[in-house]
Structure 1
Amino acid sequence: MASFQRKGPKARVLSAEEEEKLQRDQALVSDFKQQKLEKEAQKNWDLFYKRNSTNFFKDRHWTTREFEELRSCREYEGQKLTMLEAGCGVGNCLFPLLEEDLNIFAYACDFSPRAVDYVKQNPLYNSERCKVFQCDLTRDDLLDHVPPESVDAVTLIFVLSAVHPEKMHLVLQNIYKVLKPGRSVLFRDYGLYDHAMLRFKAGSKLGENFYVRQDGTRSYFFTDEYLAQLFVNAGYEEMLNEYVFRETVNKKEGLCVPRVFLQSKFRKPQKDLDSATMGLCYQAGDFASP
């Protein structure tokens, strides 16, 4: 296991009331119910999309602002960027990206067959610009749909938190196979002590920083150290890994609630090339810089 020294902002500090609440709610959901939740995870997400259709999440127009890799990773103007959106939901990130940049080709997958169907029914869906498929990233091989080492960037946005912690490494290993050497996984997800974590009622705790919602879907809340351990143990290099603090204001109710996210980039290492090979690559002009 690697050791990490953090330079950015530390995790949010709890108020005395919040700390007392978390200390009080320590009882774990029974093993029987936990096994049932794991077995029915896909069904619960399918029911989530059945209830909410395409209306639950807002379109994410901020991804290219936050992740420059979605605008770069190209050697010449007009070159296509090939990306994978791992856990695409109903396309709230996918379609804004495709609209903004005509030179993106996207692979996109989701755990929920219903979510994949919603993507394919979207008027913006174009099979020449994206390939969408159902996939359990903890079990199904991405190489059945995506060529090895063919992807310039992978987005993993509010996805890994829904996976059981014991299976998260399987997702990262799966993604690793399709990512080009020198390219990155772009990550954003729930951070420790986000307001959503503090809202869970007693009886919702599955494990350390891991909770179940009333609809049966689950959520993990990451520390920067834990996330870095996951990625580095799967073979990635840490490029950026820091907390993002926001406040959501509900003017109607007069509430201001703290939001905590982790925003990170982890790179697949460049392959080792001997000096002769590197020289030939540079002479031929086809060596891709990270």
Structure 2
Amino acid sequence: MASFQRKGLQTRILSTEEEEKLKRDEALVSAFKQQKLEKEAQKNWDLFYKRNSTNFFKDRHWTTREFEELRSCREQHPLYNAERCKVFQCDLTRDDLLDHVPPESVDAVTLIFVLSAVHPEKMRLVLLNVYKVLKPGRSVLFRDYGLNDHAMLRFKAGSKLGENFYVRQDGTRSYFFTDEFLAQLFVDAGYEEVVNEYVFRETVNKKEGLCVPRVFLQSKFRKPPKDPAPTTVSASL
């Protein structure tokens, strides 16, 4: 598996065959089914995790390599204890994080293949929810599916929910981001853009002789630091 990152490039250019496939799959899932999928989103993801358990997900050793903020949070905080952490279940589009986390107390937030599972109309709610608990001057560390990723082209006809938004056979959904859309989403929620780049990969299956192109978006968006308190100047005449 090869990995490389380029700055200032657009997403992967599709072949003529790939472009034609996307054009053929323009029909959207009915409004009734879309409402049903939204209503059953939590149930579908619960079933997904139950089926896959720990077999589907591998240790993400690359996270501390790509996001140095995570290493500093772990190694420079004097109270860090790897055996103790607070775990709670939360719907970021609906449940208030302040019910579990003090305001402006979090050093770093990771949204790694999280936002793509949220309906685009509710993504801003997630970012506003996170904003309340993040310390000023600290960042959200983001990685997720990019536009024209191979996974996007594997969807069969009848899987499209909206622009860049698809449903899998198990009812779970996935959005494929452009850098422009993601940046606007964060900026509108009050964040500052630090890094926002496409990551291109090639996944090779030597046994089957396949090489498939992967596209991800890797980004950092910062909550603006608080302005220092203004200096009070008094004068008497």
- 1:132 maps to which of 68, 71, 87: 87
| Residue aligned with 1:27, SS | coil
Aligned residue in 2 for 1:156: 111
Tell me how far apart the structure 1 counterparts of residues 143 and 81 of structure 2 sit (CA, whole Å): 20
Give 1:135 deviation, angstroms.
Answer: 0.4
Tell me how far apart the structure 1 counterparts of residues 81 and 123 of structure 2 sit (CA, whole Å): 27
Aligned residue in 2 for 1:47: 47
Aligned residue in 1 for 2:19: 19
Runs of at least 4 residues off by over 4 Å? none
Tell me how far apart the structure 1 counterparts of residues 23 and 211 of structure 2 sit (CA, whole Å): 23
Aligned residue in 2 for 1:3: none
User: Are residues 1:211 and 2:166 paired?
Assistant: yes
Aligned residue in 2 for 1:226: 181
Tell me how far apart the structure 1 counterparts of residues 223 and 168 of structure 2 sit (CA, whole Å): 33
- Which TM-score applies when normalising by structure 1? 0.75
- 1:251 maps to which of 185, 188, 206: 206
Q: 1:252 to 1:189 in 2, by over 3 A?
A: same
Give 1:54 deviation, angstroms.
Answer: 1.5
Mapping for residues 11-160 of structure 1, pairs under 5 Å: 11-72=11-72, 78-80=76-78, 103=80, 126=83, 129-160=84-115
Tell me how far apart the structure 2 counterparts of residues 9 and 237 of structure 1 sit (CA, whole Å): 20
Tell me how far apart the structure 2 counterparts of residues 79 and 177 of structure 1 sit (CA, whole Å): 21
Tell me how far apart the structure 2 counterparts of residues 141 and 211 of structure 1 sit (CA, whole Å): 27
- Which TM-score applies when normalising by structure 2? 0.92
Give 1:49 deviation, angstroms.
Answer: 1.3
Aligned residue in 1 for 2:148: 193
Tell me how far apart the structure 2 counterparts of residues 73 and 40 of structure 1 sit (CA, whole Å): 36
| Residue aligned with 1:71, SS | helix
Q: What amino acid maps onto 1:54 in structure 2? A: T
Q: 1:275 to 1:169 in 2, by over 3 A?
A: same
Q: 1:80 to 1:9 in 2, by over 3 A?
A: farther
Tell me how far apart the structure 2 counterparts of residues 180 and 104 of structure 1 sit (CA, whole Å): 20
Structure 1, unpaired ranges of 5+ = 1-6, 82-102, 106-125, 278-290
Tell me how far apart the structure 2 counterparts of residues 79 and 132 of structure 1 sit (CA, whole Å): 19
Q: 1:176 to 1:202 in 2, by over 3 A?
A: same
The two structures, once aligned, show a CA RMSD in angstroms of 1.8
| Residue aligned with 2:86, SS | strand
Give 1:244 deviation, angstroms.
Answer: 0.1
Tell me how far apart the structure 1 counterparts of residues 81 and 23 of structure 2 sit (CA, whole Å): 47
Q: What amino acid maps onto 1:164 in structure 2? A: H
Tell me how far apart the structure 1 counterparts of residues 70 and 183 of structure 2 sit (CA, whole Å): 22
Q: 1:78 to 1:157 in 2, by over 3 A?
A: closer
Count of aligned residue pairs for this structure pair = 227
Tell me how far apart the structure 1 counterparts of residues 49 and 115 of structure 2 sit (CA, whole Å): 18
Describe the superposition over 1:97-139 as per-residue Cα deviations: whole angstroms up to 9, x where unpaired: xxxxxx367xxxxxxxxxxxxxxxxxxxx4xx21110100000
Q: What amino acid maps onto 1:269 in structure 2? A: P
Tell me how far apart the structure 1 counterparts of residues 31 and 208 of structure 2 sit (CA, whole Å): 38
Tell me how far apart the structure 1 counterparts of residues 76 and 92 of structure 2 sit (CA, whole Å): 31
Give 1:272 deviation, angstroms.
Answer: 1.4
Q: 1:80 to 1:26 in 2, by over 3 A?
A: farther
Q: 1:80 to 1:193 in 2, by over 3 A?
A: farther
| Residue aligned with 2:171, SS | coil
